[in-house]
Structure 1
C-alpha cells in the first residue's frame, strides 16, 4: 500500500505533466484514444465518487461557522466565471461550438484541486473546501440553468437533459461515496491516500478522449482556445481575490476565494460537452484542465513564499 501511496502523491504533484504528455499522445495517435469518449461520464463519476469518500461533517461545519463567507464564495463562483465566459464568447465573436465550450467551463463548480492549491498557498483551506462542497452540491441546478441562460443564443440547450447528466455524474456518485464512507469508514481511511492517483488517471483519460476526437478542430482553433482559457482563468483568480477584498475578508480568505473562483471542475465541462454538444465544445474544458494545473501551483507557490518571507521578518 505504501508504494501505491507514494505513486499517488507523485502523480498528484506532476498532474499537469501527465495531462500534457497524454494530450500529445492523443493528438499524434488519435486512433489509440478515441475509444475512451463513451466513458467520459463514467470517469467523471469515479472522480466524484472519490470526492464523496473524502467529504466529512467537519467540511460543512465551516458553513455554519462562517455562512456569509461561504455564500459570497459560492455566488462569486457562479457569477464571475459564467459572466467572464459569456463576455469572452461575445467579445471575441467565437464560433458556436467554441463559445458553448467556454461557457460550459465557466458554469461548472470548483474542483477539488482548488482545495489543494489553497492549502499550498497558505490560504483558508477550510473555507475553500466548504465552497467547493456547497457549489458542487448546487451544480445540478445552477450549472444547467446558467448554461441555458447564457448559451442558448448559440445552440439549442436542454436544461432538463443537462440537469439529469449532472445528477448522474456528480450528485449520485458523491452520495454513493458518502454512503460508502459512512458504512466502511476504516476501509475508506486506508484507501483515501490513493484517490489522487485514481483522479489523475481519470482526468488524463478524459483529456486524451477529447483531444483524440477533436484533432482537426484543435489544429484550426487550438491557439485561440488556449489564449481564451488563460485569460478566463487569470481573470477568475483576479476577480475572486477582489471579491474577497470588497467584502473585507482576511488575506488568507482572499487567497482561498481567488483560487476557488479561478479553478473549475473542467471534467464536468468535458462530460457535458461530449454528452450534449460536440467534441469541439469539450476542447476548452480539456485545455482548462491542463492549464489551471500549471497556473494554480504557480500562484500557490508565489503566495506561499510571500507568507514565508513575512513569517521570517516577524521572527527576525
Structure 2
C-alpha cells in the first residue's frame, strides 16, 4: 500500500506532463478512439471516488458562511457560460466546437481545484464545499444553461442532459458517500490511491477524445487552446475580483477564483461525446491539459504571496 501511495502521489504531482504525453501519444494512434466509448464509465469512477472522500463536515461552510458559498457557486454558473459565449463569438467557432466550449463553461468545478486551493494557501473548506455543491447542482444547472445559451448552435435536449449528469455524477457520488458512511475504516485505507484512479481515468478520457479527433486537431487545436487560455484565465480573474468587490476575505477570494476558473473538463468531454459529436468533446480534452498547467502555476504564485491576517490559517482549517 505504501508503494501505491507513492505512485498515486507521483501521478498527482506530474498530472500535467502525463496528460500532455498521453494526448501526443493518442494523436498518432487513432485506434485509441475506442476509449471514448468508456468516457461515461470512467467519469462515474472519478465521481464515485469523490463521494468516498466526502463527509458531513464538508458541507459545514454552507451553514458557517452561506454568502461566500452562494457567491462562488453563482459565479461558477454565470461567469463561465457567459465568458464561453463571448469566446465562441470572438473566434467564430463552428457549431460543434462552439457547443463544446459552452458546455465546458456550464459544467461544475473540477475536483483538482481543491488541491490547487490548498497549494495556493486558499480557503480549502470553501473550495470543497463549492465543488461539491456545484457538482450536486449540475443535473439541473448545466442542462438549463445549455438550453438557454447553446440551443442556437445545435439542438439541446435538457432532459437527456439531466439524465446523463444524474447517472454520471449524482448517483456515483451518492453511492460513494453511502459506502464511506458504512465502511469508513476500509475506505480510509484506499483513499490514498484515489488520486491515481482519477488521474488514470482523466488520461484515458483525453486519449480517447484526442484519438477520435486526430484528423481535426491540426485545423482547430490551436484556436481551441487559445480559447482555453482565455476562458480559464478570465475565470480566475473575474472570480477573484468579483469576490473581492463583494468584500470576501483574501484566502476565500483565492478559493473562489480557482473554483470558478477550473471546470470539470472530463465531464464536458463526456457529455459532448454522448450528446453531440466527437468534435464537441475536443474542447474538454484540450481545456483539461491547460487547466492542469495553469492551476499549479497560479497556486505556486499565490503560495509565495502573503495575504495578511488570513495567511496562517484560512487555507488549512
TM tier, smaller: over 0.9
Distance 1:126 1:84 in 2: 26
Within-5 A mapping of 1:1-16? 1-16=1-16
- Please name the residue that 2:51 is paired with: 52
Shift of 1:94: 1.2
Within-5 A mapping of 1:100-111? 100-111=99-110
Shift of 1:309: 11
Shift of 1:60: 0.5
TM-score computed with the length of structure 1 as normaliser: 0.96
Shift of 1:189: 0.5
Distance 1:162 1:140 in 2: 7
Q: Is the 8 A contact 2:80 2:231 kept in 1?
A: yes
Q: Is the 8 A contact 2:121 2:302 kept in 1?
A: yes
Q: Is the 8 A contact 2:118 2:124 kept in 1?
A: yes
Give secondary structure in 1 for the equivalent of 2:306: helix
- Please name the residue that 1:68 is paired with: 67
Within-5 A mapping of 1:109-124? 109-124=108-123
Shift of 1:308: 9.2
What stretches of structure 1 of length at least 5 have no aligned partner?
none
Per-residue CA deviation, residues 146-173 of structure 1 (Å, 9 max, x unaligned), is 1111111011111110100000000000
Shift of 1:92: 2.2
Shift of 1:87: 1.1
Within-5 A mapping of 1:265-276? 265-276=264-275
- Please name the residue that 2:315 is paired with: none
Distance 1:34 1:235 in 2: 31
- Please name the residue that 1:25 is paired with: 25
Cα-Cα RMSD: 1.4
Per-residue CA deviation, residues 105-157 of structure 1 (Å, 9 max, x unaligned), is 10010011111100000011111111111100000000111111111101111
Aligned length: 311
Distance 1:83 1:149 in 2: 11
Per-residue CA deviation, residues 77-123 of structure 1 (Å, 9 max, x unaligned), is 00010010011112322110110010011001001111110000001
Distance 2:122 2:246 in 1: 16
TM-score computed with the length of structure 2 as normaliser: 0.96
Runs of 4+ in 1 over 6 A off after TM superposition: 308-312
Q: Is the 8 A contact 2:250 2:307 kept in 1?
A: no
